[in-house]
Amino acid sequence: MEPRPVRLRGLARRLTTAPAGGAVYGRRRRQLGCPSMLDLAIAFLARIGRVLDRFEVTTAGLIAGVLVLTTGWGVFSRYFLGVALPWPEEIGIFLYIWMSYLGAAAITRRRKHIEIAFFVDSMRPFWRSVTTIFTHVLMGVFFVIILKQAPLVLPAQLTIEIGAAIRLPKAYLTIVLFFACASMLLTVTQIILEEIRNIQRGEYPEPRFPTAGL
């Protein structure tokens, strides 16, 4: 005995009789569990962000460990062995810059940078989202301006050496800046899309600092 076919008349009727209009179509898609292009874009950026976050946090943690060892060895060598080594200080500066930019990218993704949220959190939800979009657009423009200089700066800095002891090309120090800017650009793009989705749906999250509006 053949299985009975699944009745899809109700589903087909809801899809074919939907009136024109993006808002109505978007509500029907959400009711049927169909993600929109905005949802897919946010999910894609979030997936990339998780990979970048794992790399940034792990690398920054390893750099912090190496930084403690090299700095400790430099202090021990200077005060207990009587030998002032030049390379621990130079490597320490190099690693500290890398750790700072990787940490900045990871903290931007977590939205944990220092901020004054009193005025923004005192706004109505709609204007709070609009302000968030505006500020993150400015951040994105800043990152794009920096990234546009990468093809010009990095090749030129490959011939410039830094440090009297380690003698590394300066490009190795600058490349982390461009990597962090690219990572933060993806983060602010995701935040902008999330706020646009909140405005479209009329679903606004609570202020991150609720007491700011009191």
In a domain, 74, yes or no: yes
In a domain, 14, yes or no: no
Both structure tokens of 153: 């700066």
In a domain, 3, yes or no: no
Higher pLDDT, residue 205 or 25: 205
List CB contacts of 126: < 8 A, sequence separation 6 or more: 199, 204
Domain range enclosing 166: 37-213
In a domain, 32, yes or no: no
Q: What is the mean pLDDT of the chain?
A: 81
List CB contacts of 207: < 8 A, sequence separation 6 or more: 117, 120, 121, 128, 213
19 has pLDDT over 90: no
Number of domains in the chain: 1
What average pLDDT does this structure show over 164-188? 89
Average the pLDDT over each of 14-18, 150-154, 160-164, 191-195 and give the range with the smallest value: 14-18
Taking only the tens place, the pLDDT of each residue in 36-67 is 899 999 999 999 999 999 999 999 999 999 99
Please tell me the pTM assigned to this model.
Answer: 0.77
22 has pLDDT over 60: no
87 has pLDDT over 80: yes
Taking only the tens place, the pLDDT of each residue in 88-127 is 888 888 899 999 999 999 999 998 888 887 888 888 989 9
In a domain, 27, yes or no: no
Higher pLDDT, residue 25 or 182: 182
The CA distance from 111 to 37, in Å, is 24
In a domain, 132, yes or no: yes
The pLDDT value recorded for residue 156 is 85
In a domain, 206, yes or no: yes
Can you count the helices (H) and strands (E) in the chain?
Answer: 8, 2
Strand partners, 168: 162
In a domain, 61, yes or no: yes
Torsion of CA 22, 25, 30, 32, to 10 degrees: -170
In percent, the amount of the chain with pLDDT more than 70 equals 80
163 has pLDDT over 90: no
